[in-house]
Amino acid sequence: MITLHEVHKQDSGDVKAAVVAFGARHPFDGAGPDAEPDWKWAEKHFTRLIEVIMGTAALAQGRGTDTVHRAENEAVQLLLTLNTVPDYRCPICVKQRRDAL
């Protein structure tokens, strides 16, 4: 599966900005607003986002290459879309918080 780091290395400035913004949604606990993001946490959530997009049907098919690539592309498109929304929250963080309640 593609990583956030690999996505960030793509040529598009918009993609790079979206990755940085997604990372910023994953600060270290107790870190100040200008602190470096917790990239390990952001990476886990990006991978989980791809898995959610693939869904259970893809898992039953054994995660075919085409299905994975489509899900990766959709996850990148979601990051690009979310980047246009001020102060958005990571959808995986929101889901985990809701599941914990």
Tens of pLDDT along 44-79? 999 999 999 988 555 556 556 788 888 999 999 999
Q: Which domain holds residue 44?
A: 4-29+37-100
Q: What is the pLDDT of residue 59?
A: 54
Look up tokens 């917790």; give the residue. Answer: 38
88: which residues sit within 8 A by CB, 6+ positions away? Answer: 25, 82
Contact status, residue 58 vs residue 71, Cβ threshold 8 Å: yes
Domain total for the chain?
1
Mean pLDDT of 41-46: 96
User: Does residue 89 surpass a pLDDT of 70?
Assistant: yes
Question: What distance, in Å, lies between the first and last C-alpha atoms of the chain?
Answer: 30
Contact 22, 4 (CB under 8 A): yes
Give pLDDT, residue 58. 57
What local confidence, expressed as pLDDT, does residue 61 receive?
60
Residue 41 has pLDDT above 60, yes or no: yes
